Amino acid sequence: MKIDDVRRTAYSMPLTSPSFPPGPYRFFNREYFIITYRTDLEALAAVVPEPLEVVEPLVKYEFIRMPDSTGFGDYTETGQVIPVRFNGEEGGYTHAMYLDDEGPIAGGRELWGFPKKLARPKIEVESDTLVGTLHYGSVLCASATMGYKYRPADHDAVVKSLKTPNFILKIIPHVDGSPRICELVRFHLEDVTLKEAWTGPAALGLFPHALADVARLPVREIVSALHFKVDLTLGLGSVAFDYLAK
* Residues identified as active-site: 116
Report whether 231 contacts 198 (CB < 8 A). no
With residue 122 as reference, give the H or E element that holds it.
strand 120-126
- Cα 100 versus chain centre, distance: 13
Residue type at 157? Answer: A
133-138-140 Cα angle (round to 5):
35
The H or E element containing residue 64 is: strand 58-69
Q: Answer for the pair 141, 212: CB distance below 8 angstroms, yes or no.
A: yes
